[in-house]
Amino acid sequence: MGMKTVLSHLKETKPGVLALFDPDRIPKSRIKEQTRLVCESGVKGILIGSSILLNPQFESFVLEVKKNASCPVILFPGGSHQISSHADAILFLSLLSGRNPQFLIGEQIKAVFLIKEYNIEVIPVGYILIESGSYTTVEYISGTRPIPRNKPEIVIAHCLAAQYFGMKYIYLEAGSGAKNPVPKRVVQMVKKNIDIPLIVGGGIRREQEAEELLNAGADFIVLGSIIERSKKTFKNIMRSLR
């Protein structure tokens, strides 16, 4: 990214869409094509991460994305084993909605010296799970319960805590492949009460959902599964947002 930081790039290009690439779901042979597709469609960045990470070729996955990407490549790690020197930045997440010390601070401590060694740009993010209507992988793996979707005041309290900790972004997560995305009412209410930008992801599969969440105040929405499931739908969503 040259001298410009990823954080300033995101600030200048919002609102928009971030693509999520899960190394467990994209075969090596399709990385190049998928990277070019999302960049040409106008995503503002590519997130790479997985709740579990079964793929042993993580480093080469990130490198292949980086080689073909014209936008920033940002780690979105499910744990301390998902750090790569090839990325432009890392979302340094703390799973604030949970009460599991492993994902609040434990994984982070295991990752810090590697991040320092690689000199990756660090973007501190408050990661907040919202109940989505089905049991998601991220809930299972993190061993945490999400915040009920009809309790916006609890969501706001967690978002304010993130802001007061000095975090640069909030990520409201319904979970990959979620039955329902984060409700737009929750996004609207959060937006009214916090000053830091908001990323919203999980279960966004329709043009209308994407549009509504951006209108509700999401600075970025994240599209993951839909890119793999239907390129046509993904392209339509991207077109509808132009």
| Site residues (vs ligand 1GP, CB under 6 A) | 20, 173, 176-178, 201-204, 222-226
- Going by C-alpha positions, the residue among 149, 107, 111 that lies closest to residue 128 is 149
Shortest-Cβ-distance residue relative to ligand 1GP: 201
Structure tokens at 204: 């966004």
Q: Whose Cβ is closer to ligand 1GP: residue 8's or residue 198's?
A: 198
User: Of 4 and 229, which CB lies nearer to ligand 1GP in the complex structure?
Assistant: 229
For ligand 1GP, the closer of residues 39 and 227 by Cβ is: 227
Nearest approach in angstroms of CB 74 to ligand 1GP is 12
| Smallest separation (angstroms) from ligand 1GP to the CB of 217 | 17
- 4 vs 145 by CB, closer to ligand 1GP: 145
Q: Write the Ramachandran bin of 170: left for phi over 0, alpha for psi from -120 to 50, otherwise beta.
A: beta
By the 10 Å C-beta count (0-12 exposed, 13-18 middle, 19+ buried), 226 is classed as buried
Minimum distance from residue 234 beta carbon to ligand 1GP (Å): 10
Measured from the CB atom, is 48 or 178 closer to ligand 1GP? 178
240 sits in the region (left: phi over 0; alpha: psi -120 to 50; else beta) called alpha
241 sits in the region (left: phi over 0; alpha: psi -120 to 50; else beta) called alpha
CB of 167 to ligand 1GP, least distance (A): 17
